[in-house]
Chain A
Amino acid sequence: MQYQETRRTPAEVLAEPVLGSVQTYEQITDRIASIVLTDKIQLGWLVALTIAMSMLGMMGVSLLGLFYWGVGVWGLNNRVDWGFDIINLVWWIGIGHAGTLISAILLIFRQEWRTSINRFAEAMTLFAVACAGIYPTFHTGRPWLDWWLGPVPGVSTGMWPNFRSPLVWDVFAISTYASVSILFWYVGLVPDLATLRDRAKNKYIKVIYGLFALGWRGSAMHWKRYNTAYTILAGLSMPLVFSVHTVISFDFATSQVPGWHVTIFPPYFVAGAVFAGFAMVLTLAIPLRHVYGLQDFITMRHINNMAKIMLATGIFVVYGYFLELFFGWYSGNEYEMALTYNRLFGPYAWSFWALIFCNGVVPQLLWSTRVRSNEVVLFGIANVVSVGMWLERFVIIPVSLTRTFLPASWGWYFPTRWELSLFFGSIGLFLTMFFLFIRVLPMISIFEVRELAHHKMHEH
């Protein structure tokens, strides 16, 4: 392996090409497919999966308790009706954005460095959306009636959902996003599934991959339509990825709670989502490339580019925070002024200042090439950003609700252990799905890397 990280200057590290040492198509295929097909199950993976699954069990218990006793097990009250449930919905959905952004927008802009990170970033999107989906589904008072939010008439009443409600928009936005993400991911997987089908030694595994590969045979006519469909999907996903967090932000922006009713929310939520998403991609990519020896595919160039995107979107998000405060002051509206004051100096001010530290101060380290070339530091920053983005939603959602118009409607919000356990449980769900994914499906798109290698050879 020609990979030596330690004896190079930061600038040299970051100058790595998007594809490591020149490889044949066979080598590329073998390196990625072997993780799925031939590698033995490692002890570390097993331990990690066990921890993740026990966290998942925690989610099961939390949901059972929630079902049995009701939403009362959470710390919500008549002032603050949304807390951890909606914070985590927004947080998870935001994380999902990087996957679609990488797979769709960077494809349209022909950024070839997307190629080796798009597959697992898309997987991350799906799993994050699945985690997000749990919250709106189970946070309702009577979750068994959730289907009333769908576009179906009520049995015997004939009533329809209220299409003016942002929550109905959410139902459409999240389900469309999830469906299109699954389609995009699956279409990308089909040629790789065919590769796995052709390389699998075990008969049963061959049959399973074969069924999912749908008989893909790499015909030139098929590739033609395939590329058309893939580009169309990317073009459709581009507005979609912007729309999802926009619609989520409408939950707040169209309301009239001070601190929610902010017109800058849609763009700033989208930037925040990309910011959080890339933080999560880095959190996953840095350990993955070392554990599975994929440094030739996920090179420091990728890591560097993602860090730069994080820096840019981070600045955008901080600009959003600043504008929120500015609007509060410039509006001259006493409720907005009171909210701004409360946010900065009120009882929950610690969360705001911690947010500024996590999302405003820490990411500024990314200006330095030395920081961007140090994976350990980057991993740390990415995690700080994830915490910061969580705090952002905490500041917006429950903290705004603790101080609304009338002094009589002022209150408190403290999460209970049930909310915490559901949150950790959803992380467990995410990790469980991710650990299973890296052993079952190729975590890097094999055919796209081959194509990239083909283009690279042409350049020389």
Chain B
Amino acid sequence: MAACDAENNIAVVGKEEVMMGREMQWLRIDSYYSGDLDNPTTLSQPVMCQHCEQAPCEVVCPVAATVHSAEGLNDMVYNRCVGTRFCANNCPYKVRHFNFYQYQDTETPIIGLRHNPDVTVRSRGVMEKCSYCVQRINEARIEAKKEARDIRDGEVVTACQQACPTQAIVFGNINDHNSQVYKLKQQSQNYGLLAELNTRPRTTYLTKVTNPKSEIKQGDA
């Protein structure tokens, strides 16, 4: 999450705003608990924009400020955004975050040095969300174009992927059937979050395979 915040110039909104439910983070970790109340098992699920194929947020935007790119990303066009917030209401994952105030300090010159120069600093009144680190994709594409080739699998590494110590996040081209992400998506435990809404999320998860019954010894199954 820290990597995501730093990479994407995500504003620090302060305690009061977070208490109001206006936290600003493109990636959140949902925790689910199971088992005994005193000593529960914790299951973590990182949730960011799912980049749905049939995105509910895109259809309801009156000014087409959130649209599909040719590569399949769900793009958020900040300078087109008027701020009706309908997209956030209609997002089943609630991964869209609104700039209720001018959260970013654009006046103090030194603050500018802190920002990632490849990422827009969002102003008041616009919606923002995970972009799959589109600036890294673009950088890789430029490099690839210079060498007149396609982007190689694993060439684009998102900030969260880079920072994840257990390498739980994989990013790549799902149209490339040789890519790691395509192969992982073929596994039977692959599922989409709230896929029953027919949003066809592009981000998918792999179910954790556990051995819940301790009497079954390892190796029996």
Q: Do A and B bind each other?
A: yes
Please give the residue numbers on chain A whose beta carbons come within 8 Å of chain B beta carbons, in ascending order: 69-72, 75-82, 139-143, 145-146, 148-149, 154, 157, 159-162, 164-168, 171, 251, 254-257, 401, 404-409, 411-412
A-B contact pairs, 10 of them (CB 8 A): A70-B125, A141-B85, A159-B80, A165-B59, A165-B86, A166-B86, A255-B56, A256-B90, A405-B92, A405-B194
CA distance A177 to B100 in the complex (A): 31
Rounded to whole Å, the gap between the CB of A106 and the closest CB of chain B is 34
CA distance A161 to B82 in the complex (A): 11
Residue B99 at the chain A interface, CB threshold 8 Å: yes
When distances are taken between beta carbons in the complex, the residues of chain A under 8 Å from B101 are 69-70, 72
Interface residues of B in 35-64 (CB under 8 A from A): 47, 56, 59-64
Would you give the shortest CB distance from A385 to chain B, in whole angstroms?
28
**CB within 8 Å of A: which of B60-84?**
60-64, 80-84
Assembly CA distance A78 to B47 (angstroms): 15
B90 touches A255 (CB 8 A): yes
> For A404, what are the chain B residues with a Cβ–Cβ distance below 8 Å?
92, 94
Tell me the nearest residue of chain B to A77, going by C-beta: B21
Counting chain B residues whose Cβ lies within 8 A of the other chain, the interface size class is: 35 or more
Distance of B190 from chain A, by nearest CB (Å)? 19
Residues of A within 8 A of B82 (CB): 140-143, 145-146, 148-149
Contact B99 A141 (CB under 8 A): yes
Chain A residues contacting B89 (CB-CB under 8 Å) are: 81-82, 255, 257, 401
B121 to chain A, nearest CB (A): 15
A408 near B94: Cβ-Cβ < 8 Å: yes
B-side interface residues toward A, CB under 8 Å? 17, 20-23, 28, 30, 32, 47, 56, 59-64, 80-86, 88-90, 92-94, 96-102, 124-127, 193-194, 197
Given contacts A70-B124, A140-B82, A141-B85, contact A149 B63 (CB under 8 A): yes
Residues of A contacting B100 in the complex (Cβ-Cβ under 8 angstroms): 70-72, 76-77
Given known contacts A70-B102, A171-B62, A78 and B88 CB-to-CB distance under 8 angstroms: yes
- Chain A residues with CB under 8 A of B97: 78
What residues of B have a CB within 8 angstroms of the CB of A149 in the complex? 62-63, 82
- Known contacts: A70-B100, A78-B22, A255-B90. The answer to whether A160 contacts B64 by CB under 8 A is yes
Shortest beta-carbon distance from B170 to chain A in Å: 22
Top 5 A-B residue pairs of the complex, sorted by shortest distance between their CB atoms: A141-B83, A141-B125, A77-B21, A72-B100, A409-B94
Tell me the minimal C-beta distance from B65 to chain A in angstroms: 9
> Quick check: A82 and B30 within 8 Å, CB to CB?
no
B90: nearest chain-A partner, CB-CB? A255
Contacts of A139 in B (CB 8 A): 84
- What residues on A are CB-neighbors of B32 within 8 Å? 407
A71 to B20, CA, bound (A): 13
Check A406–B93 contact: CB distance below 8 A. yes
Taking the nearest CB of chain A, how far is it from the CB of B124, in angstroms? 5
With A70-B125, A72-B100, A412-B21 known as contacts, the answer to whether A79 contacts B85 (CB < 8 A) is no
Q: For B94, give its contact among A143, A406, A412 (CB under 8 Å).
A: A406
> Which chain B residues border A406 with CB–CB below 8 Å?
30, 47, 92-94, 193-194
Residue of B nearest to A260 (CB): B89
